[in-house]
Amino acid sequence: MYRYDEFDHQLVADRVSQFRGQVERRVSGALTEDQFKPLRLMNGVYLQLHAYMLRVAIPYGTLRSEQMRMLAHIARKYDRGYSHFTTRQNIQYNWPALDKIPDLLDELATVEMHAIQTSGNCIRNVTSDQYAGAIADEVEDPRIISEIIRQWSTFHPEFTYLPRKFKIAVTGHENDRAAIKLHDIGIVVKQNSAGEIGYEVHVGGGQGRTPFVAKKMTDFVPKEKLLAYLEAVMRVYNMLGRRDNSYKARIKILVHETGQEEMQRLVEAEFAKIDASDMLTVPQEEIDRISAYFAPPAFETLPAESETFTQAQAADADVARFVRANVVAHKQAGYAIVNISLKPIGGVPGDATDTQMDVIADLAENHSLDEVRVTHEQNLVLPHVKLDDVKAVYDALAAHELATANLGLISDQIACPGLDYCNLANARSIPLAQEISERFADLDRQYDIGELKIKISGCINACGHHHVGHIGILGVDKKGTEFYQISLGGAADENAAIGQITGRAFTEEDIVDAIETVVTTYTDLRADGERFIDTYNRLGMAPFKERLYD
């Protein structure tokens, strides 16, 4: 994993010191809220319904055990004993006091963490595949280029005041787990016929009130040229992106209104200029230096099969279920990727207590080569667990309500904080997720339904990714009352698609029944082996709409 050098340490320390002064001046009255608000937002501090909220960056979703332990400590000392993992692989604290946040940030800095690039109209924290470096058939660990992008983008003076926020995601695998086509820039690591590593770049994806799947800008940019290419995209956006209307300011609108071909021409022209200067060609020694941080950890040489692992499943049906749903094959013989669902039945999606985070930190240290990953679907991952250790890991997770065997199933829902916390929300998301998971609590029923991704947003800003849920749910406000609109057929993977709205919205009382109607329509009509999304893609909206509204 990447470790801070002296420049990183100084940069973060200076930023915390600067923010401490800004907070002191705000509290003393020397700064007005209009003056202070953009400064606090640049440090991840929002004002929500009940309190301030602090969003902490987790670059490309990777954590060391000491970092997870610090996140637990902060939840305990500065918050209310819990925190919330977000759809951008970050973590949010819901109740910090403003005047204590500088102290909190000082403590975070001791484990090389901060809240930079978690808000404001800058290039945000880079996200990536939670299975990076662990999954088979990866072209290259996507965290290498993600870290290079992080270093290039942090405090980039030209891109600190963009028309709007800007999000970049990277995958190094053909199976996209990072939703790269729903980002301002989505990057796929590729290998060309000469065996060289480069990048396919997609631009103009996003959700919010105007959702778009990103358009491919180029098939292959050589590794050392990617920053020059990204800088070209950013310059075109910075020059032409709208600043007169925040609803039309994202690059997705520019790409849509300019057209894919013209956008490609503009980017290529800018790229040619930057490339000619050679200013942003990444030196090979720097690529090698960053790559070394992501060299494979010290895996033991183990047999591919584990008798201990096999026997544990045979002896305990709960372990077998956990393995079936939450354990994924590892590229290294004798190891497994263990997913930790933060979606217990009736729980709050993405929330974890300080105690749970400490338990996960211990498991990472003792059983996962010191690593934890955060997923954009609001779960956690122990990426490098020996097959021999899976049972012990399961037991520890189960003892702390962390062993729900529902990954990718109907109860593994994304839900934004919604109107229970969020200042922008129109409706609650979490209670709906809780009711749906309770309605479908029976795991056998969930396994029968199979892969089904429900995603819930409490407003059109779409933090809950409702546009790309197989079943998406959007909360809307009608004269102070909550209603819920359903969409079907969305997808966030390599076959990214925006869901289609079924029709009129449902009341809070009726929405869970409506979701069950959609699910039973699928189970009634599916062909052998079809997942929900396959059935929807084959049959379209009509049969679902008929059952929902007739």
Q: Which chain residues interact with other proteins by CB under 8 A?
A: 26-27, 29, 32-33, 47-52, 80, 95, 97-99, 348, 419-421, 425, 427-428, 430-431, 434, 477, 479-482
For 216, 390, 429, 549, the CA distances from 486, given in Å and listed in that order, are 29, 38, 13, 12
Cβ closest to other proteins, residue 98 vs residue 539: 98
Cβ closest to other proteins, residue 33 vs residue 288: 33
Q: Which helix (H) or strand (E) holds 339?
A: strand 335-340
Selection from 369, 373, 365 nearest residue 62 by Cα? 373
The C-alpha atoms of residue 25 and residue 19 are separated, in whole angstroms, by 10
Cβ closest to other proteins, residue 27 vs residue 272: 27
| Shortest Cβ 96–other proteins spacing (Å) | 8
| Shortest Cβ 471–other proteins spacing (Å) | 21
Cβ closest to other proteins, residue 31 vs residue 134: 31
Cβ closest to other proteins, residue 51 vs residue 302: 51
Cβ closest to other proteins, residue 33 vs residue 278: 33
| Shortest Cβ 36–other proteins spacing (Å) | 9
The SS3 assignment for 333 reads coil
Taking only Cα atoms into account, the Rg of the chain, rounded to an integer number of angstroms, comes to 23
> Which 8-state DSSP code applies to residue 420?
G
| Shortest Cβ 351–other proteins spacing (Å) | 9
Cβ closest to other proteins, residue 195 vs residue 480: 480
| Shortest Cβ 22–other proteins spacing (Å) | 13
For 174, 291, 384, 401, the CA distances from 294, given in Å and listed in that order, are 20, 5, 14, 31
Question: Contact at 8 Å (CB) between 58 and 71?
Answer: no
| Shortest Cβ 80–other proteins spacing (Å) | 6
The C-alpha atoms of residue 484 and residue 428 are separated, in whole angstroms, by 10
| Shortest Cβ 161–other proteins spacing (Å) | 23
| Shortest Cβ 165–other proteins spacing (Å) | 21
Cβ closest to other proteins, residue 48 vs residue 260: 48
| Shortest Cβ 114–other proteins spacing (Å) | 21
Beta strand spans in 431-498 (E): 454-457, 471-478, 481-488
Q: Which helix (H) or strand (E) holds 529?
A: none
Question: Contact at 8 Å (CB) between 190 and 200?
Answer: yes
**Single-letter residue type at 280:** L
For 15, 284, 327, 486, the CA distances from 442, given in Å and listed in that order, are 49, 53, 20, 23
Selection from 477, 481, 479, 436 nearest residue 460 by Cα? 477
For 232, 235, 268, 276, the CA distances from 273, given in Å and listed in that order, are 9, 11, 9, 5
| Shortest Cβ 104–other proteins spacing (Å) | 13
Cβ closest to other proteins, residue 29 vs residue 195: 29
Main-chain phi, psi angles of 146, to 5 degrees? -60, -40
Cβ closest to other proteins, residue 387 vs residue 425: 425
Alpha helix locations (H) across 188-340?
226-240, 251-258, 260-277, 284-293, 307-315, 317-326
| Shortest Cβ 410–other proteins spacing (Å) | 19
Cβ closest to other proteins, residue 81 vs residue 503: 81
The C-alpha atoms of residue 358 and residue 76 are separated, in whole angstroms, by 11
Residue partners of 200: CB distance under 8 A and separation at least 6 = 187, 188, 190, 216, 218, 219, 220
Cβ closest to other proteins, residue 251 vs residue 473: 473
Cβ closest to other proteins, residue 128 vs residue 429: 429
| Shortest Cβ 71–other proteins spacing (Å) | 19
- Would you call 261 exposed, middle or buried from its count of C-beta atoms within 10 A (0-12, 13-18, 19+)? exposed
Selection from 521, 399, 417 nearest residue 86 by Cα? 417
Question: Contact at 8 Å (CB) between 512 and 432?
Answer: yes
The C-alpha atoms of residue 405 and residue 399 are separated, in whole angstroms, by 14
| Shortest Cβ 81–other proteins spacing (Å) | 10
The C-alpha atoms of residue 524 and residue 67 are separated, in whole angstroms, by 47
